[in-house]
Amino acid sequence: MMMQGVWNHRVYRIERLLGRGANGVVYLVTMLSAPDDRHGGAIGTFALKISANAVDLQSEVNALGSLEKQRKTLSRMSDRQDNRPFLVDVDDADVNGERISFYVMRYVPGESITAYIRKKGPKWYGIVGGKLLAKLHNVHRHGWVFGDLKAENVIVGNGGEVELVDYGGLTGKGKSVKQFTEMYDRGYWHAGSRTADDGYDLFSFAILTIHVLGGKGLRERMKKALPQMREAKELLDLIHAHPVLRLYEPWLFHAIKGTFASSEEACRMWNDISRRLHRSGMRPHRPTPLWMKWFFAVSVILFTISIVWWTSSFE
């Protein structure tokens, strides 16, 4: 499918669906040099978001525009050039006789943070988590909160670079978070309000950490607990009982309890813990595979039988 902007006249070929949220859908698109150039003349690959809610879409555009200004300023002030714009295009398009609004943002090829850590191993989470926290801090310092932080909205590239996708939950600080996912919501766990502040995203990051490193434990707790009985203590107990999560327990405690003064403080503490783990050579405990346990049990049985047979042969 092809789509052309009404005002800026840029042409996009829609490749596939990337995600669907409460206030819109995000597609992977290729920007083309001309409307009839379906196979060549590709300018680049981006993420394009369409929303029926013009107010929500404009709020996201404003936030991305603020981040884009900061990116350009930092690029001018430093030798390091970041050529990946946050905001590429904002326009309308006529699709099937209906005028829709959309914006285009940068896209980082990769996979979900869950799939990346599953492939690379939990020892990589310290690095990836630090980069994600830096992204969140950058959003916070411009007066926004990401809001709908979850595994599906965090992409990790092959080189370990981290990108946030779907800014539909972006909320100005002090306002009520407009879009969230229950499992990652501190209100769901009776651990605080839904007012947008640094702590809201940090709590969601803690839940993300439990989800990525803790396996099925979190969802099992959610199924068993009655809504009125959910509390932060359940999460802290889950962290303390898990050998991998326990490595990050001090940080997770502050995030769940909401005692970080800012995301900047949270970034410093996370990086301190990650560096300490790296220097100490600590590696997350990996449970003994089930097949190895069976192999050991069978070996013991066979050894016992051989001893009995050997003893009886001399009688």
The sign of the torsion formed by the CA atoms of 72, 60, 22, 226 equals positive
**From the candidates 91, 148, 166, 198, which is the catalytic residue?**
148
Q: Is 150 annotated as a binding residue?
A: no
What count of other Cβ atoms lies within 10 Å of the Cβ of residue 82?
Answer: 12
> Is residue 82 flagged as an active site residue?
no
Per DSSP, which regions of the chain are E strands? 2-4, 11-21, 24-32, 42-51, 87-95, 98-106, 111-112, 144-145, 154-156, 162-164, 171-172
Q: How far apart are CA 154 and CA 70, in angstroms?
A: 21
Q: How far apart are CA 169 and CA 3, in angstroms?
A: 25
- In a 13 Å sphere around the CA of 276, the CA atoms on its Cβ side amount to 9
Q: How far apart are CA 252 and CA 261, in angstroms?
A: 14
* Residues designated as active site: 148
Binding residues for ATP: 49
Binding residues: 49
